[in-house]
């Protein structure tokens, strides 16, 4: 499963880059963002993360984003082998998708759908399939505010009463600029 997920994420990113490199005469845009969220599972209190997103414009209303970053789930106290410890979960998301602007100007309200892999970097973490739908608003100045759900299947070993699948609803604040 781990090898399949890595291959899927690499293939999605390669296809997105291949098809958009020639279609974008103006060059890609780079967005740097921070995320704060609420986990959808009981064992965590909140999430924080940061990401970088390359956005390749196919047209003013259609873009192909490729995103990578780091996200950390802060755990509630858990009992581990008789001692009180935190069972935090961290991962590196690598994903690609489609971003559609509802305004012809290429800014304003948008919808976004991404898939990829979440590479677990904490204890008991695994590589899992990642999916992330989002809605947001991008201003022509480069400011971007969005709300996303990010779900990861088979993210953790099922230990200490923790679910294998995790997810969160997060607010993303970013600034983008042309390269």
Residue 5 has pLDDT above 80, yes or no: no
**7-38 residue pLDDT tens:** 555 555 555 555 544 444 578 999 999 999 99
What integer pLDDT is reported at residue 22 of this predicted model?
A: 47
What residue spans define the domains of the chain? Answer: 2-24+31-178
Domain 2-24+31-178 class in CATH: mainly beta
Determine if the pTM surpasses 0.85: no
Q: Are 132 and 3 in contact (CB under 8 A)?
A: no
CA distance 90 to 72: 4
């Amino acid at each position: 499963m781990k090898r399949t997920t890595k291959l899927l994420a690499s293939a999605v990113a390669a296809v997105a880059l291949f098809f958009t490199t020639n279609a974008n005469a103006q060059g890609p845009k780079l967005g740097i963002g921070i995320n704060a969220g609420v986990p959808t599972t009981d064992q965590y209190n909140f999430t924080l993360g940061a990401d970088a997103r390359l956005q390749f414009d196919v047209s003013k209303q259609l873009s192909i984003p490729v995103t990578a970053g780091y996200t950390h789930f802060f755990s509630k106290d858990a009992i581990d082998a008789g001692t009180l410890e935190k069972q935090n979960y961290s991962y590196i998301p690598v994903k690609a998708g489609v971003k559609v602007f509802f305004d012809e100007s290429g800014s304003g309200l948008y919808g976004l759908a991404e898939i990829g892999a979440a590479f677990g970097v904490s204890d008991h973490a695994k590589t899992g399939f990642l999916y992330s739908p989002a809605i947001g608003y991008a201003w022509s100045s480069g400011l971007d505010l969005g709300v996303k759900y990010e779900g990861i299947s088979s993210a953790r070993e099922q230990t200490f009463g923790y679910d294998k699948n995790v997810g969160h609803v997060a607010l993303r604040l970013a600034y983008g600029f042309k390269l």
